[in-house]
Amino acid sequence: MRNLRSVGASSERTGVPARRRLLVKKFGGSSVADVERIRRVAQISLESQRAGDDVVVVVSAMSGETDRLLSLAHKLAPLPDCRELDVMIATGEQVSVALTAMAIHAAGGHARSVLGHQVPVLTDSSFTKARVLWVEEGPLREALGHGQIPVVAGFQGVDASQNITTLGRGGSDTSAVALAAALGADVCEIYTDVDGVYTADPRVCPTGRKLRSIAYEDMIELASLGAKVLQVRSVEIAMKYDVSVHVRSSFTDEEGTWIVNRERALEGKVLTGLACARGQARVELVGVEQQPELVMALASLLAELNVSVDMLCHARGVQADTTTNIAFTIPEVDLLRARQRLDPLVASLKTGELRISEGLARVSLVGIGIRSDPSIPARLYRALTQEGIVVSGLVVTELRISCLVDEAVSDKAVCILHEAFGLGQTDVVGGPRLVARSGTAA
């Protein structure tokens, strides 16, 4: 049993290459979408094992399955019980692990499906959004010792009372990285339907360039800002335990993108990439009485709802010195739930009103150079407004700059910024060439 909270970076991973490696291979929903693709997963896993490595496989639900189950639940109840939701949606991965293990058997290998509660992957009890607390390594080591390939159900865990939990959308990435950390794996390979991490989505911006490597911090920003390659939390765990993550395609043998610490990642770049999150809503509380507790009350209310809030800003109102404006951005899908709590709060205030704008997209530029180059916000603003794009919000942090634009022009905005900051060119940086300062990023 290895406690994820206390185990540091493992020295096992720095051994000489000649020894037997341990690889955790995670396959997403599109990689197990049908029988043919599951056979491909079996083949990749067996080839790796036959080449002399120990292999642990983690799989997601077949693509579309989780949505099918969720719609079944929502037909029954608009707000289904979260504990029961987890019991239900965990079946998606359960089917995948069984089929994948069967496919490995059918190809002449030895495999054994392992469910979240069988590992076990212990989590807290936040149903539908649980956090991994620790991962037991015993049963997996035992299976590996017998020459088997353990096929572990991603996305699911179990709480201390034996309730089934799930880790939130994309949680299989987190499962894979947590297993890799617990086992001290050499690499956590994330097989997906894209071949790596790009400076910008190549479907949106044709000059988008695949990165050979990216630092954990930059990947965390990109993922939390809309890049759908990986779940944010998985990268946080990878960073914490220094797990080397390799994002690659399950359809080719090509190298993908390595997610590693900044020393190993830096290509001399200070700007890494662009991410775009559509379906955002801007919530503004305008002209409310200045109350120091209001922002706190708001923030804790939204935290309680487990709504992810971004670009919260707080500015003096225009009406008088005694009023203030508060604005923040939340995903449109969380708006209904948030308003159930916001509306009574606003109604209880003496002055002020709530303004909601929907149909927005958040376009973000990520890289270690953002803070150190004060010209970047101005260049971003100029590039977009020159092309007639209205920027309706801006926030700058250590590692990123995000702006809000209309959803209809968000693809155009991504392309403009990709060009303006020279992200398509391998050796161009978006600001003064900086020496990497590992560990200083937020």
Residues that bind a copy of itself (CB under 8 A): 35, 38-39, 69, 72-73, 75-77, 80-81, 83-85, 87-88, 90-91, 94-95, 97-99, 101-103, 105-106, 112-113, 115, 117-118, 162, 164
Q: Quick one: three-class SS letters along the chain? A: CEECCCCCCCHHHHCCCCCCCEEEEEECHHHHCCHHHHHHHHHHHHHHHHCCCEEEEEECCCCCHHHHHHHHHHHHCCCCCHHHHHHHHHHHHHHHHHHHHHHHHHCCCCEEEECCCCCCEEECCCCCCCCEEEECCHHHHHHHHCCCEEEEECCEEECCCCCEEECCCCHHHHHHHHHHHHHCCCEEEEEECCCCCECCCCCCCCCCCECCEEEHHHHHHHHHCCCCCCCHHHHHHHHHHCCCEEEEECCCCCCCEEEECHHHHCCCCCCCEEEEEEEEEEEEEEEEECCHHHHHHHHHHHHHCCCCCEEEEEEECCCCCCEEEEEEEEEHHHHHHHHHHHHHHHHCCCCCEEEEEEEEEEEEEECCCCCCCCHHHHHHHHHHHHCCCCCCCEEECCCEEEEEEEHHHHHHHHHHHHHHCCCCCCCCCCCCCCCCCCCCCC
Q: Is 145 a known ligand-binding residue?
A: no
* Cβ proximity to a copy of itself, 28 vs 116, nearer residue: 116
* Cβ proximity to a copy of itself, 93 vs 310, nearer residue: 93
Q: Is 92 a known ligand-binding residue?
A: no
Q: Is 91 a known ligand-binding residue?
A: no
Residue 168 CB, shortest distance to a copy of itself, in Å, is: 17
Residue 176 CB, shortest distance to a copy of itself, in Å, is: 19
Residue 110 CB, shortest distance to a copy of itself, in Å, is: 10
Residue 177 CB, shortest distance to a copy of itself, in Å, is: 24
Residue 92 CB, shortest distance to a copy of itself, in Å, is: 8
* Cβ proximity to a copy of itself, 9 vs 87, nearer residue: 87
Residue 97 CB, shortest distance to a copy of itself, in Å, is: 7
* Cβ proximity to a copy of itself, 166 vs 224, nearer residue: 166
- Sign of CA pseudo-dihedral 295, 297, 298, 302: positive
- 334: burial class by Cβ within 10 Å (0-12, 13-18, 19+)? middle
Residue 282 CB, shortest distance to a copy of itself, in Å, is: 33
Residue 406 CB, shortest distance to a copy of itself, in Å, is: 38
* Cβ proximity to a copy of itself, 130 vs 363, nearer residue: 130
* Residue reference for tokens 């197990």: 32
Q: Is 83 a known ligand-binding residue?
A: no
Asked whether 59 and 153 are in contact (CB, 8 A), the reply is yes
Q: Is 28 a known ligand-binding residue?
A: yes
Q: Is 269 a known ligand-binding residue?
A: no
* Cβ proximity to a copy of itself, 38 vs 416, nearer residue: 38
Q: Is 381 a known ligand-binding residue?
A: no
* Cβ proximity to a copy of itself, 142 vs 289, nearer residue: 142
Q: Is 272 a known ligand-binding residue?
A: no
* Cβ proximity to a copy of itself, 41 vs 417, nearer residue: 41
Q: Is 186 a known ligand-binding residue?
A: no
Q: Which residue numbers belong to the known binding site?
A: 26-29, 66, 93, 192-193, 198, 203, 228-229
- Binding residue ranges for ATP: 26-29, 192-193, 198, 203, 228-229
User: Where is the binding site for substrate, in residues?
Assistant: 66, 93
